[in-house]
């Protein structure tokens, strides 16, 4: 049980020696039964009163001294505790941080494999025994205890001279001088090898001996309190012994303390928990309690400093994750508007209660606040989000020249209003709906940070806290600056990418001409860009007539996904189109000549392609034929009038264009029925991450068969609808031709 009042006399006065209030000290002295000395084997200021003196003040003059029976009972109790320590194998250590002297008692010397002559009483002698894999961690733990004048709690391996490895559990505390500097590190240690092997009973006994401890009888009265519990609870044992715990510590009633203690007493099960006790203690405690036939045994540690450190660490982890997520999450969102909205959602509520992001229009003069265009906002309260979104947009039309928004945009400097923000901002707005919205949102503190790009800001981010959250701490301001810098670079890259993509898409679409019309052929084409992909692809299709009336179909894919790929696609497409249109060459000859011209002109790219030539055969049983040649591209498909699907060219295809210009290309041919459909497509239709090409081709065959008898345009639309995923990772192009029936 934790909780008690600490009087003013306990906290100050001429007799308030030792460390500052709130820094618990482990009492390393174990009173002896018959003139024994300090458990640690070293003297301390508390030992000046005699070999069995326990450091407690003598009774003032005029007060009754303890009688022989009381003294005998106390000595017996102390003797029992000393025997328990001895039986448990607990050793003590005392490290003089000023002089450097490290004292081990006999138990620790034996545990670490030293004798008196071989132990030179230095920290190096201790470090020499610690397992190399654990040494850095142990040094950090006792270093933290010394630096913070706090607790030391470690479990580590030691390697004894005979090569055996043991586990040691140690618990201690740094003692400070009047200036708050650590001067000693004292504590206990014991062989924890058995606990590592699962002997939890022994471990509980060991833990209980090094910290505050009290016991309760079955009527919830305190039957024993050790000296450390007196200090932590801020009351002498005379005040505590025999008292009802619920009367002594009323704040425990109805709390985790009462719930866990009653559960342990009623069920016979050990409980371990952390709980907070309010004023006058105002501290967090780690508590373990286990039942016994007489009642309940409880030990506890003040872990307030660890809790605060944990909270700081959790906040640091959260902020680090936030900064990492800015780049990763925003970059993964291809849509510009969604990326900006995602930024507001990353910031709230980690750094602020609500947030607005405004972007500068690319077409407006740099540095002008009038350049602010797109704006969006987010609030931690779902009910307030529409209001923030409306305010984010409407405020841009009414901001004055002296507003903090104007200052942030025009000067590219951060603006801070860390308190009474509503009072500061009110004069910057004329009366009207925008001011009313701001008053409803009621900001207490506001930060406006430019989103710096390469050379100029791309926008700004506004962070706002309400009165309950208050001002921005310095740690949040630092994080917000870092976040704004990262977000600015991401948005700047996204803006540059958007421009490049628009150019590439314009170039690519300018080369994708409409299909030819007329004659015995019906032609349909489709092109679906990967709108959320990072770069533009080099997919293309083409269809045109040769001089003899034959229809040439081309499908191709230049390696790469950027504006250079789009430009290279234009070169290769022009070569294929020009060479094929010059005469009546077959597909194989066209690809062979394209390959050689690419080498001659040093067109530094590679591409897959299929060139097919479809022509009617008047008066024949099969009224048409198709000839094709393949340069490393997925095979064409043939949908016959009866619904059967054939893969054209199941054998290996030829090498890619631009790889082996000396290659003589092969050519295949197939007869066509009336109403047959020849389909050429790029790999984006059948290839998926985590899926084999064979699986994709099988899905295409089934989808094509299911569309038999449909109009050619419907066949193309149906294939895209059935086969394309929701988020297209690659461009898709296809061209289809149907031989019209004689009817």
Query: Which residues have CB under 8 Å from 702's CB, separation 6+?
Result: none
How far is Cα 605 from Cα 565, in angstroms, rounded to an integer?
8
Q: What Cα–Cα distance (Å) separates residue 503 from each residue in 51, 141, 232, 679?
A: 91, 59, 72, 29
Verify that 671 and 593 share a domain, yes or no.
yes
CATH number for the domain including 349?
A: 3.30.450.40
Classify residue 507: in a domain, yes or no. no
Where is the domain boundary, 164, 198, 232?
Answer: 198
Domain boundary among 173, 198, 223: 198
Mean pLDDT, rounded, for 380-398 = 90
The whole-number pLDDT of residue 697 equals: 93
Q: Per the domain annotation, does 57 fall within a domain?
A: no
Beta strand residue intervals within 392-487, DSSP E? 415-417, 445-452, 457-465
Contacts of 393 by beta carbon, 8 Å cutoff, 6+ apart: 375
Answer yes or no: do 252 and 137 share one domain: no
Whether 590 shows a pLDDT value over 90: the answer reads yes
Q: CATH number, domain at 646?
A: 3.60.40.10
Sheet strands side by side (includes 637-639): 521-528, 732-739, 677-681, 637-639, 645-647
Q: Which of 118-127, 398-407, 465-474 has the lowest mean pLDDT?
A: 398-407
Q: Residue range 121-143: average pLDDT?
A: 94
Other beta carbons less than 10 A from residue 368's beta carbon: 13
pLDDT confidence of residue 212: 87
Q: In this predicted structure, what is the pLDDT of residue 536?
A: 58
**Per-residue pLDDT band at 137 (split at 50, 70, 90):** very high
Q: If you average pLDDT over every residue of the chain, what do you get?
A: 80
Structural domain count, the chain: 4
Going 32 to 37 to 39 to 45, the CA torsion angle's sign is positive
pLDDT at 447 over 70: yes
Max intra-chain CA distance, the chain = 137
Residues 6 or more apart whose CB falls under 8 angstroms from that of 496 comprise none
In Å, how far from its chain's centre is CA 51? 57
Preceding omega of 280 cis (within 30 degrees of 0): yes
Is the domain of 341 the same as that of 366?
yes
Higher-confidence residue of 510 and 444: namely 444
Average pLDDT of the segment spanning 71-85: 67
Is the pLDDT confidence value at 206 over 80? no
- The sign one gets for the Cα dihedral 525, 530, 531, 534 is negative
Residue 89 scores a pLDDT above 70: yes
Please give the pLDDT value at position 63.
43
The better pLDDT of the pair 588, 198 is held by 588
Q: In what order do the strands lie in the sheet with 271-277?
A: 222-225, 212-217, 295-302, 283-292, 271-277
Q: Within its chain, how far is the Cα of 243 from the centroid?
A: 50
pLDDT in tens, 45-54: 333 333 333 4
d(CA 85, CA 75): 15
Identify whether 504 is part of a domain. no
Asked whether residue 400 falls in the same domain as residue 483, the answer is yes
Across 211-224, average pLDDT: 91
At 560, which helix (H) or strand (E)?
Answer: none
| Angle at which helices 474-511 and 304-332 cross, to 10° | 10
Vertex 654 angle, CA 649 and 656, to 5°:
125
Could you list the residue range(s) of the whole structural domain that residue 622 is in?
512-739
Tell me, what's the pLDDT at 322? 76
Question: Quick one: pLDDT at residue 205?
Answer: 46
- Say which residue the tokens 């066209």 belong to: 590
Least confident stretch, 96-110, 207-221, 422-436, 591-605: 207-221
The answer to whether the CB of 631 falls within 8 A of the CB of 666 is no
pLDDT of res. 332: 60
508 — pLDDT class (breaks 50, 70, 90)? low
| Residue 22 included in any domain | no
Same domain, 516 and 649: yes
What's 163's domain CATH number?
3.30.450.20
The whole-number average pLDDT for the span 152-159 is: 93
Same domain, 159 and 263: no
Question: What pLDDT was estimated at residue 451?
Answer: 87
Any domain includes 661 = yes
Count of C-beta atoms within a 10 Å radius of residue 506: 11
What is the DSSP pairing of strand 271-277 with strand 283-292? antiparallel
Residues 280 and 173 placed together within one structural domain of the fold = no
Q: Which of 605, 598, 657 is nearest to 630 (CA)?
A: 657
Q: Which helix (H) or strand (E) holds 285?
A: strand 283-292
pLDDT at 352: 93
Q: Pick the last residue of a domain from 198, 225, 258.
A: 198
Q: Is the pLDDT of residue 700 over 90?
A: yes
pLDDT band at 43 (very low <50, low <70, confident <90, very high): very low
The arrangement of strands across the sheet holding 165-176 comes to 102-104, 91-96, 182-191, 165-176, 151-159
**410, 281: one domain:** no
- Gap between the Cα atoms of 145 and 130, Å rounded: 18
Q: 171: which strand partners? A: 153, 188
Q: Which pLDDT score, from 0 to 100, does residue 686 have?
A: 92
- The fraction of the chain above a pLDDT of 90, given in percent, is 43
In this structure, is residue 418 part of a structural domain?
yes
Residues 599 and 652 in one domain: yes
In this predicted model, which residue has the larger pLDDT, 288 or 39? 288
My answer on whether 334 and 297 are in the same domain is no
Confidence grade of residue 519 (pLDDT, cut at 50, 70, 90): confident
pLDDT band per the 50, 70, 90 thresholds, residue 563: low
528 lies in the same domain as 661: yes
Sign of CA dihedral 57, 59, 65, 69: negative
Is residue 17 assigned to a domain?
A: no
How confident is the model at residue 613, as a pLDDT? 94
Provide the pLDDT confidence category of residue 471 given band limits of 50, 70 and 90.
very high
Report the pLDDT value the prediction gives residue 12, as an integer from 0 to 100: 36
Lowest mean pLDDT, pick from 22-31, 309-318, 587-596: 22-31
Region of poorest pLDDT, from 5-19, 193-207, 508-522:
5-19
Residue 474 covered by a domain:
yes
- In angstroms, the Cα distances linking 72 to 67, 468, 487 are 9, 60, 74
- On whether both 293 and 146 belong to a single domain, the answer is no
Lookup: tokens for 496: 């540059």
């Amino acid at each position: 049980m934790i909780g008690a009042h600490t009087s003013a006399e306990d906290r100050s006065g001429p007799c308030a020696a030792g460390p500052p209030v709130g820094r618990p000290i482990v009492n390393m002295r174990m009173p002896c039964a018959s003139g024994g000395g300090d458990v640690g084997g070293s003297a301390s200021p508390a030992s000046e009163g005699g070999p069995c003196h326990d450091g407690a003040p003598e009774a003032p003059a005029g007060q009754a001294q303890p009688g022989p029976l009381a003294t005998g009972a106390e000595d017996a109790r102390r003797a029992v505790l000393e025997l328990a320590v001895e039986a448990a194998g607990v050793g003590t250590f005392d490290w003089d941080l000023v002089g450097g002297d490290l004292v081990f008692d006999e138990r620790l010397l034996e545990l670490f494999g030293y004798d008196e002559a071989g132990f030179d009483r230095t920290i190096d002698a201790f470090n020499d025994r610690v397992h190399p894999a654990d040494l850095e961690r142990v040094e950090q733990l006792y270093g933290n205890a010394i630096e913070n004048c706090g607790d030391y709690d470690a479990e580590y391996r030691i390697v004894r001279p005979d090569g055996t490895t043991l586990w040691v559990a140690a618990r201690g505390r740094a003692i400070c001088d009047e200036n708050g500097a650590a001067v000693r590190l004292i504590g206990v240690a014991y062989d924890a090898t058995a606990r590592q092997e699962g002997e939890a009973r022994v471990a509980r006994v060991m833990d209980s001996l090094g910290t505050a401890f009290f016991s309760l009888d079955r009527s919830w009265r305190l039957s024993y309190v050790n000296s450390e519990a007196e200090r932590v609870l801020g009351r002498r044992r005379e005040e505590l012994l025999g008292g009802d715990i619920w009367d002594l510590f009323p704040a425990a009633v109805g709390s985790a303390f009462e719930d866990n203690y009653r559960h342990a007493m009623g069920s016979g099960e050990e409980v371990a928990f952390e709980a907070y006790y309010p004023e006058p203690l105002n501290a967090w405690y780690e508590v373990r309690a286990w039942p016994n036939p007489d009642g309940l045994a409880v030990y506890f540690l003040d872990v307030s400093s660890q809790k605060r450190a944990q909270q700081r660490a959790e906040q640091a982890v959260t902020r680090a994750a936030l900064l990492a997520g800015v780049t990763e999450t925003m970059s993964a969102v291809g849509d510009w508007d969604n990326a900006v909205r995602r930024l507001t959602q990353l910031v709230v509520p980690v750094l602020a209660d609500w947030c607005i992001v405004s972007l500068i229009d690319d077409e407006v003069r740099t540095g002008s606040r009038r350049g602010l265009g797109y704006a969006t906002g987010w609030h931690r309260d779902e009910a307030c989000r529409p209001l923030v979104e409306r305010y984010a947009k409407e405020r841009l039309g009414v901001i004055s020249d002296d507003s903090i928004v104007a200052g942030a945009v025009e000067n590219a400097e951060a603006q801070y209003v860390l308190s009474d923000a509503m009072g500061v901002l009110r004069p910057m707005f004329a009366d009207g709906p925008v001011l009313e919205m701001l008053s409803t949102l009621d900001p207490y503190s506001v930060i406006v940070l430019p989103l710096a790009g390469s050379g100029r800001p791309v926008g700004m981010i506004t962070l706002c806290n309400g009165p309950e959250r208050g001002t921005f701490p310095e740690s949040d301001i630092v994080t917000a600056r870092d976040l704004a810098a990262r977000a600015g670079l991401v948005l700047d890259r996204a803006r540059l990418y958007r421009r490049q993509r628009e150019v590439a898409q314009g170039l690519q679409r300018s080369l994708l001409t409409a299909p030819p019309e007329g004659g015995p052929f019906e032609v349909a084409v489709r092109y679906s860009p990967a709108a959320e992909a990072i770069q533009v692809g080099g997919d293309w299709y083409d269809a045109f007539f040769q001089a003899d009336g034959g229809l040439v179909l081309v499908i191709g894919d230049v390696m790469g996904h950027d504006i250079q790929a789009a430009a290279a696609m234009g070169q290769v497409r022009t070569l294929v189109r020009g060479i094929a249109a010059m005469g009546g060459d077959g597909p194989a000859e066209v690809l062979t000549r394209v390959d050689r011209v690419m080498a001659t002109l040093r067109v530094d790219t590679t591409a897959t392609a299929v060139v097919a030539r479809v022509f009617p055969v008047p008066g024949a049983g099969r009224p048409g034929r198709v000839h094709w040649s393949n340069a490393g591209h997925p095979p064409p498909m043939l949908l016959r009038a009866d619904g059967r699907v054939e893969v054209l060219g199941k054998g290996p295809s030829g090498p890619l264009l631009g790889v082996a210009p000396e290659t003589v290309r092969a050519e295949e041919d197939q007869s066509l029925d009336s109403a047959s459909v020849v389909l050429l497509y790029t790999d984006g239709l059948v290839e998926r991450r985590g899926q084999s090409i064979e699986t994709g081709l099988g899905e295409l065959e089934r989808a094509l068969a299911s569309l038999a008898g449909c109009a050619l345009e419907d066949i193309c639309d149906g294939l895209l609808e059935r086969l394309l995923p929701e988020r297209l990772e690659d461009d898709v192009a296809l061209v289809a031709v149907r031989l019209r029936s004689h009817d």
